[in-house]
Structure 1
Amino acid sequence: MFSILTRLFNSTHRDAAGEEGLRAASSQNTPSLDTYPEYVPTTGPNAGKYQSKPAAFWTCGFFPASLYCLLERSMRFPRQLAPPSVTPEAFQAQLLALCRSWSEPLHANATRTNSHDLGFIMRALRMDWELTGEPRSLRSYITAAESLATRYDERVGAIRSWDQALSHSYEIRNPEENFLVIIDSMCNMDLLFYAAHHARDHRLSAIATEHAKTVIRTLVRPDNSTWHVVNLDQKSKTKGSIKFRMTHQGYSDDSSWARGQAWAILGFAQTFSWTEDEEFLDATQRVSDYFIAALDSSPATTHRYVPLWDFADADGDQDSEGQPLRDASAGMIAANGLLLLHQALQVHRKDAGYGTRYLDAALRIARDTIGYCLDRSDVARFEKRPGTKEELQVPPGSWDAILRHATANNNRNALMRYGDHGLVYADYYFLEFGNMLLRMNLI
């Protein structure tokens, strides 16, 4: 199981993911506050090229974070990402310049109080602080946590995820009557815990812990699958009273949207790592077991561990390979969470059997993702920029992303329905998974 991962992440000659990431970075226009790359369509006039969303969109931080993944690999694990013909210092300086140019606009998001996605948006600045010690990046990250905390309401014990939710089938607009929380929110709690420790502000970690407990009570089903959205009643005398639950991006209100299940795995695992509260370890195992069982019973004819976009849509839409529509991002998000779960069980339960089970599942997800989703039609390559001594470039290609077969939103009533494409956060969690394996000395 390690052999394919080793070829990708541990090549002594080249790092395909690294070169693809740098090619995508160099292919984009000068970064600004206006737009950031989000998805790569498979067909149509823009096939193969990153399409952007406004900088206020929740995905804007993933592209800069992907670049910092490459910077970390070049600094901490140079054997995995050290291009020929230039010195490590020159390569890292060029890569850091790219990271900084793409992450600079993110500082302006630190004071936003209209989004719960600041953990995703600001991730690159945390990475900048950790890799370079830049204090401004840490300050912005802590400020973002304080901004996120303003969305907490003690009447429901949760942070408001969305101020409104719109589709072709419903309009939920009035925040005075609706308090929407989504399963994705679990992965933004890491921002609060991290900032709480650096700022010595227990209030931030208390908010994150209470929010996570509310999510367990309201968004995890008895069978350990997850709802996507819950609307809580902030006027009820009963804390956390539920008005209704639904999906916004999944197949149906009662289905298990694969990426939502993956957010739960990663978010609960991160929360346990901060709190060491057994409730979160138990929740991580339960939602992970459901996810793995769904992969084992997948109707896909090959690479079953690349999850269907929604586990209930076995006979629905197909991808460009003629197989059930997948979501590579869900698989890689879950794989990151499963690695954290493996570590937690090894340390806190000393349960080698269960720990190994989750590690094996994470590795199989990665193996099947590489086999089914890694773009091989136009492999990127480093070359020296003409007229320079130690400056690299990656020539343009036909596919800007690293992975194929992700699905952002295939809900039939979505305002924008799109799937079977490259996706910026699929690539980020793919790169981060490789770095996690390197940190754990598994490759």
Structure 2
Amino acid sequence: MPREVAAAAGRSGSSAAEVVAADLAGPSEAEDSAYYGLELTGAADADANSSAVSAAARASAAAAMATDVVNRFAAFGPMRLIAARVMEAAGAKARKTVEALTPDQYPMATQPSGEWEVVKAGHWMSGLFSGVLWQLYEHSGRKEQFWADKAQEWQAGLAGRQRESGSQHDFGFIYLPSFAHSYSVTGSPEDKRQALAAAEALSWAFVPGSKSLRSFDGWKTPSSTDAYQQIVIIDFMMNIQMLVWGARHVTSPALDLRMDPRPAETWLQMAKDHARQVAANHVRPDGTTYHIVEYNPNTGSVNKKYTYQGYSDSSTWARGQAWAICGFAMLHNATGDHDFLETARKLTDKYLELLSAQPAKAARAVKAAGGAAAVAAAAAPPAPPRDALVPQWDFDAPWHPEMDGPRDTSAAAVAALGMLYLAESEAAVGTAAAAGPQTIGPPAEAAAGEARPDSQASRGAAARYLDAAASTLRALAAPKYLAPAGGAGSFPALLKHGTGGFPLRNHVDVGLISGDYYLLAALNKCLTMPACVGHVGSA
């Protein structure tokens, strides 16, 4: 039955779309199509009892409807079943990946050949496939040991490399999805030691003069100045979560660390200082963000603000905005510092505002292009409103109709995770405010003396951000963006239409392991939140 789509798919090894199509082609198609909100068309319009309707015709009609069924199911179905369908596809793809690659090959982006482009240990994406495997293990209720075993195989090559990082310091991206997550499952002292070593190594990148972490050593972009410089990229709002994790898990004194006699206090303060500098210098007054801020590391003065992956120095790179949303929301969730909540709100409100303007921008571009693009657009069915929740790679870049933007599904996945954390914080703040004048601190300790916000406003904001997050997850679960499990030679990534570096024409309209990881992380986060599990989709 349709209500058991995910379970049936898991038992049979078929994709959810195939299970749905089988439902609709079966003898109870009238009941099943009513559940999905559909009316059978084509050959299936004939009397169900008519011998003129052959099994082949019924199967053909059902197959033709499968995409529409899954689209509607993504829009209106229960979030738990949507998550199960996505996890089913993710599991099928992960199994193929572990069969195709060796544990020293870390998938990064899809190639035209239908294979993964792989990177070596130490690349910022090298911990994310292990993270995908851990997310699958979590979704199994920690019962499918296969996923845990494979996650440990793929993280093994990352061990002991923290002090050999060279010029880059992406320890949060590498070690939080891998060894830190592994420790939460295994309680292994070695997993903990690896994760703490990453936090310690990241702390060495802190520059007292600028009160921030340097992102790279010796890296110059075409826009860099010739001045003495320290580069800070917006992406580092995610890396500082490694310091927060370390502060929570380290003991003092930490005999296995080389520095910091009081690491917990030091590391947490570094994360907060870095975030405050980002809020002051990366975040523009209107809530958009710069990709890169270049400091004088001695004085902390700003040399220049510019981009490397965005459209222009003054534009808003979508994934950069998403990194900021997620980073500030997670930091408030961990610390209770109200300043970080305010910044997360500002960033998210602007992100949603920019998304709301995207359909009109796309329509103008199609009309201006004319020709075949305009004819095709006129003939195509209207895109569902949730489609607008998947951003163009840069909100200020020209829209390319022939590339549907291009969009960046990885940015949408990161933003969805961030908005879930923000919704959780807003709900906790609203609950605490309603309870009385006590100090508020979701879910960690609150900043002393934090002003008590309005309870109703916080609860309303929580509902709005949660709806935006869940609706984004629904959009990503639709066939336009979610690659089918497929057979031999199928698309290896879970999400289609990711954009890595459009200005360099690098990884444009591809699958990105970062998109896959953050989508699964967001779905698992959603399933821990009753309001998200109970989310009702809209047209």
Distance change >3 Å, CA 141–CA 18, structure 1 → 2: same
- Structure 1 residue aligned with 2:108: 38
Q: Tell me the secondary structure at the aligned position of residue 419 of structure 1.
A: strand
- Structure 1 residue aligned with 2:90: 17
- Structure 2 residue aligned with 1:347: 428
2:312 partner letter: S
Asked if the contact 1:64–1:99 (Cα under 8 Å) also holds between the matched residues in 2, the reply is yes
Cα displacement (A) at 1:318: 4.3
User: Which residue of the other structure, out of 376, 379, 399, is the alignment partner of 2:491?
Assistant: 399
- Structure 2 residue aligned with 1:298: 358
- Structure 2 residue aligned with 1:217: 280
Q: Tell me the secondary structure at the aligned position of residue 404 of structure 1.
A: coil
User: Which residue of the other structure, out of 150, 153, 158, is the alignment partner of 1:106?
Assistant: 158
- Structure 1 residue aligned with 2:171: 118
Distance in structure 2 (CA, Å) of the matches to 1:340 and 1:4: 21
Residue 333 in structure 1 maps to residue 375 in structure 2 = no
Distance in structure 1 (CA, Å) of the matches to 2:402 and 2:406: 5
Q: Tell me the secondary structure at the aligned position of residue 180 of structure 1.
A: strand
Residue 205 in structure 1 maps to residue 257 in structure 2 = no
Distance change >3 Å, CA 439–CA 269, structure 1 → 2: same
Cα displacement (A) at 1:269: 0.7
Asked if the contact 1:288–1:338 (Cα under 8 Å) also holds between the matched residues in 2, the reply is yes
Residue 186 in structure 1 maps to residue 237 in structure 2 = yes
Question: Which stretch of structure 1 is more off in the superposition, 430-439 or 112-121?
Answer: 112-121
- Structure 2 residue aligned with 1:410: 502
- Structure 1 residue aligned with 2:336: 276
Residues 243-270 of structure 1: CA deviation (Å, up to 9, x unaligned): 1000010111000000000000000011
How many residue pairs get aligned? The number is 393
Asked if the contact 2:122–2:158 (Cα under 8 Å) also holds between the matched residues in 1, the reply is no
Asked if the contact 1:269–1:280 (Cα under 8 Å) also holds between the matched residues in 2, the reply is yes
Q: Tell me the secondary structure at the aligned position of residue 396 of structure 2.
A: coil
Distance change >3 Å, CA 181–CA 144, structure 1 → 2: same
Residue 308 in structure 1 maps to residue 392 in structure 2 = yes
Cα displacement (A) at 1:170: 4.6
User: Which residue of the other structure, out of 112, 120, 125, is the alignment partner of 1:54?
Assistant: 120
Q: Tell me the secondary structure at the aligned position of residue 106 of structure 1.
A: coil
Tell which structure's C-alpha radius of gyration is larger: 2
User: Which residue of the other structure, out of 347, 370, 377, is the alignment partner of 2:477?
Assistant: 370
After TM superposition, list the pairs within 5 Å mapping 1:136-151 onto structure 2.
Answer: 136-151=190-205
Residue 262 in structure 1 maps to residue 326 in structure 2 = no
Distance change >3 Å, CA 165–CA 417, structure 1 → 2: farther
Structure number having the greater helix percentage: 2
Distance in structure 1 (CA, Å) of the matches to 2:426 and 2:172: 25
Residue 357 in structure 1 maps to residue 446 in structure 2 = no
Q: Tell me the secondary structure at the aligned position of residue 305 of structure 2.
A: strand
Residues 74-125 of structure 1: CA deviation (Å, up to 9, x unaligned): 135xxxxxxxxxxx5xxx2322221111010111223245322100111211
Distance change >3 Å, CA 2–CA 191, structure 1 → 2: farther
**TM-score when normalising by structure 2:** 0.70
Q: Tell me the secondary structure at the aligned position of residue 244 of structure 1.
A: strand
Larger RCO (alpha carbons 8 Å, 6+ apart) = 1
Asked if the contact 1:407–1:419 (Cα under 8 Å) also holds between the matched residues in 2, the reply is yes
- Structure 1 residue aligned with 2:521: 432
- Structure 2 residue aligned with 1:155: 209
1:346 partner letter: A
Distance in structure 1 (CA, Å) of the matches to 2:302 and 2:160: 35
Distance change >3 Å, CA 4–CA 400, structure 1 → 2: farther
2:152 partner letter: R
- Structure 1 residue aligned with 2:450: none
RMSD over equivalenced CA pairs, Å: 2.1
Distance in structure 2 (CA, Å) of the matches to 1:104 and 1:297: 45
Asked if the contact 2:329–2:418 (Cα under 8 Å) also holds between the matched residues in 1, the reply is yes
Asked if the contact 2:109–2:507 (Cα under 8 Å) also holds between the matched residues in 1, the reply is no
Residue 7 in structure 1 maps to residue 118 in structure 2 = no
Asked if the contact 2:196–2:246 (Cα under 8 Å) also holds between the matched residues in 1, the reply is yes
Distance change >3 Å, CA 9–CA 162, structure 1 → 2: same
1:206 partner letter: Q
Distance in structure 1 (CA, Å) of the matches to 2:224 and 2:461: 44
Asked if the contact 1:181–1:230 (Cα under 8 Å) also holds between the matched residues in 2, the reply is yes
**TM-score when normalising by structure 1:** 0.84
Distance in structure 2 (CA, Å) of the matches to 1:243 and 1:171: 9
Asked if the contact 1:160–1:180 (Cα under 8 Å) also holds between the matched residues in 2, the reply is yes
Query: How many percent of aligned residue pairs carry the same amino acid?
Result: 32
- Structure 1 residue aligned with 2:140: 74
Q: Tell me the secondary structure at the aligned position of residue 313 of structure 1.
A: coil
Distance in structure 1 (CA, Å) of the matches to 2:351 and 2:501: 19
Unpaired segments ≥5 residues, structure 1: 77-87, 381-394
Distance in structure 2 (CA, Å) of the matches to 1:16 and 1:205: 38
1:7 partner letter: L
Cα displacement (A) at 1:165: 3.6
Q: Tell me the secondary structure at the aligned position of residue 388 of structure 2.
A: coil
